[in-house]
Chains A and B, each alone.
Chain A
Amino acid sequence: MTVHIILFGQLTDITGVDKITVENCLDSDSMVKSLQNTYPALIQSTFVIAVDKKIISSNTLLTDQCTVALLPPFSGG
């Protein structure tokens, strides 16, 4: 099972890339944990998670080829 992750803003400073593909993440919580294992600095980052372009507020089952976006807040104006 393949999940496509898109990262925005300051999160890409941590990962160095704006797109990541992960295998075998059944739900959003395990996907975030797997990302945090690879990039520990993400543990202290604030972001919202959108699965297939819709913001989620609790652990959500992921499907093959779905897209998960991690969006941090911006303050600048």
Chain B
Amino acid sequence: MHLVSPTNKRKLDIIVVGSGLAGAAAAATLGELGYNVKCFCFQDSPRRAHSIAAQGGINAAKNYRNDGDSVYRLFYDTIKGGDYRAREGNVYRLAEVSVQIIDQCVAQGVPFAREYGGLLDTRSFGGTQVSRTFYARGQTGQQVLLGAYSALSRQINTGAVKMYNRHEMLDVVTIDGKARGIIARNVESGEIERHGGHAVVLATGGYGNVFFLSTNAMGSNVTAAWKAYRKGALFGNPCFTQIHPTCIPVSGHFQSKLTLMSESLRNDGRVWVPKKKEDCGKNPLDIPEQDRDYYLERRYPAFGNLVPRDVASRAAKVVCDEGRGVGKSGYAVYLDFADAIKRLGENVIRERYGNLFDMYERITAENPYKAPMRIYPAVHYTMGGLWVDYELSTNVPGLYALGEANFSDHGANRLGASALMQGLADGYFVLPVTIGEYLSHEIRSGKIDTNQAAFAEAEKSVRDTLNQFINIKGNKTVDEFHLALGKIMWEKCGMSRNAKGLAEAQSEIRALREEFYKNVFVPGSTDEFNPELEKAGRVADFLELGELMVIDALNRNESCGGHFREEYQMADGEALRQDEYQYVSAWQYNGMNKAPTLHKEELIFENLEVKTRNYAEWVKTSSPVLVLGMGLLVIKS
């Protein structure tokens, strides 16, 4: 791998879009290395990025507990948790750098939880049998993001990074096949700006908001990734969506978003529903022990309440579909802390989860110390994203994707506390090194001139699209279209999917998209602060992405991880994988309303045996001597 010398780094400009864990970490580290960095976020400050809402923790193979953890074990758990749909090389590297991430965060002053001896505390998370999750109360995402934000702020202060708050990227500019800059809109003034760079790094998060209701922030969107896709970058595994098992259930049609209750609660909370349907309306405290079905402990004795998220979510759906769900809607299960409070005392539980219990009470007006919480699965994370190689480069030279915006490490299901790990791994330790290889060939390129035709064309297309939204002057709001799209996606491309429903969803999405361009209403003008206009652009992209997700789900005739096709299940309802789908589906854009082209990257497991995931029994894991290459990156059409 080539390096770029310090004197040459000064001549190179890098654009980083997004300021969450991956984006802030990358921008800060690239600034430290001596590159000229421009960093963009649509919020009023880089500290607002939705990484901040992650609660439970961050995994690292430190093995401080001496409980049998190792880099290999984290690698194994992640590949298995992802149902053998992730690339070995990337995941192994992730497990390796996980150790350095904790060191870096602590050095920055991130106040992780500690034991009385002064050393770091850890806890357990789903899909693992070790305790490797570092945490800062229920605000781990906030604390590690503020760590990255502080590193970024330091680089802004030195002048290495120029920060553009309240700016939204609306297109990637490519010249001779290379990414050379972006078009961004200053959302306060409405000004359209051209920014040139020798490389463009997208760290713009996931697209769970395609479902309208999700645990994502209101502003989380797919726009940056989608513009890249339209400019030739491949989109990997778009249908792989994570439905998180422990969220506060929907309470009404006005609901704007869903709130997650950290998975860490499953360490001490027991999940159950009544055995008999007729008990569902009763006060849970009046239902005796023998009439309760602790269905996760019953079905998965080895992992119990700590099965991976996809397994826990589907199990909740099964009992609710059987008519044994609780709450007003019948779509909720109990998460009960009575045993833990009896065993450990209310104070210990308050210490561990106090802020989560308070949040629950604030939203539902019920006290979870006295009665069990009610929870139900909700869209939380998207494993799919822009296809990247081992160097986190998309197939467009000079265009990189990090964090949730890429598809790389979690296969078909992400384990809890691994999103923070991946975002920071990509941002601090992977991209700043791998991007040098590409940039070493750019040292003679000189400043990127934004007066080139490609910039003018991209700017014009952005302006035309914005004007189009304003000029439609229809009768439905952007949110009404978004809500309609979300309903289609949740019902037909959600926790379980089938060929018939997916085919219907595709035509319904197309019809909705057509209606959007005829009947959406966006007030005001393009040259002012106009939140409805911003939303219109995002929803327009979701209306295209939704169709691609459906196409991908329809193509993947198997069940794996979060992708559950009803036609492919075992007798006991578990996901049934099909060997011929042991590939990454990487889709190439061919134009709106045209079928995209599927490229397949075969997944080759050289170091792990591909097995049926089994969380009901204990499986011995041996740690062989690893022969790990860079992963096989050949794309086969």
Q: Do A and B bind each other?
A: no
